[in-house]
Structure 1
Amino acid sequence: MNTAGARAWIRHGWVTEVAALAAPCATWMSDSERARLDALPLPARRAQFVAGRWLARALLAEAMGGQWHDWSLSAEADAPPVVSGPVPAALSISHSTDRVACAVGTVALGLDIEACRPRKGLDALIAAVTTDDERRTLASHLDTDALTCFTHAWTLKEASIKRDGGGLFQTMLGGSVRIEAATSMHDANACTWQLDDHVLALCIDAPDALSLNGLPLPRYWKLVPATLSC
């Protein structure tokens, strides 16, 4: 992929705070977004949806131009949002508990955020979604506990699905994507950040094009199709 001149931006925040800043939904949501919102029964899930969509428009306007009302997003079930606006743009939104994050750019990208929360059967889950080599790579690259390593692995693979497509089962349990450590941004196509008790991951072919917007320097990774791994 030609990434010359690529640009990308990322924002994250608290769901309750971002949702509180949003204008009345009827004044800015697309028809499909309003239909999706109306179908969400839980107030917490509705707040996540509003926060993600409002944050996306704010970032699109700030990074790509125009005003927030110049940008429209689709909201089809089980499909990523399609962006319409003054210029072509790629977009990815994610939320977990009361955290929300969004990335926009001129090249394909995928974003995921997950809480580092205890899980039943964690050892079995780690074994199911990572290989021995991946676990060694994660442990040496992060120098932290198994739960945090697992959360980095999960968010990285989820972000790759959001960018490239593919099934959750095939990617997570089928081992179709393999995680390798990258020594710098120049040989990486993904990166992660530890945000308190959450992990944020971004899959993008040009990490050097990313404006960090106050985020610390990330950990860099290389996501490789398993058939291409040595």
Structure 2
Amino acid sequence: MSKLIAVIGGTGLCDWPGATQLDEIEVDTAYGKPSAPLHRLRYEDAEFLFLARHGEGHSLPPHAINYRANIEALRQAGVGEIIAVNAVGGISERFVAGVIGLPEQINDYTWGREHTFYDGRDGNVQHIDFSYPYCEELRLRLCAAAQTAGIDVEPYGTYAVTQGPRLETAAEIKRLARDGNDMVGMTAMPEAALAREAGIDYASVCLVVNPGAGLSDTLITMDDIQAVIDNGMSQVKSLLAHCISAH
């Protein structure tokens, strides 16, 4: 039996123009309300649940997102697989603006976020195996869908997760590069770990929207980032639709 799939949309994918809404689900959890209602959508031949990570209207910065409520809401809805969409900065040479990456590893540099369901308050403490933070089977399905759709992707990479909401300094990007990171964003953690704790398969589609600080001759502007998002998210959505409809 196929698992129910959810897409968590990030910067550039807070809504889904062109999709048919089949249902809107209001959810409350023991951790509070999720960022937005869950939307059951049909896009091309794909049906899935959609959650806007930053809220409808992109009102929540990365460090203020209630990641626990988001994952718990999807768990309550019966979701078995999550495909997360992330806008990221590029660090290694393979990850220039416009590239779509399917990472297989994470380095977590965040702090102060509510990052686990097992916080000890209910007397239940568990230690999950997080050696491989992304579901390899789901990641390989995304790779296969990209090939079918004729979309070029970078099939491997390490995602550095920073606190935000500011972008990084040039010195920080140099450190992240020394640590072996290929891309940098602000939302993969604790989302990926919470999905693992909840028993939900999790993979990520990352759109590189800017070079990391100090890696280009010009300053990073939101206009430049938005231009890449406008061009790249159509490919991301096509990739998602091919992956979900083939499920």
If the length of structure 1 is used for normalisation, what is the TM-score? 0.29
Greater RCO, CA 8 A, separation 6+:
2
If the length of structure 2 is used for normalisation, what is the TM-score? 0.28
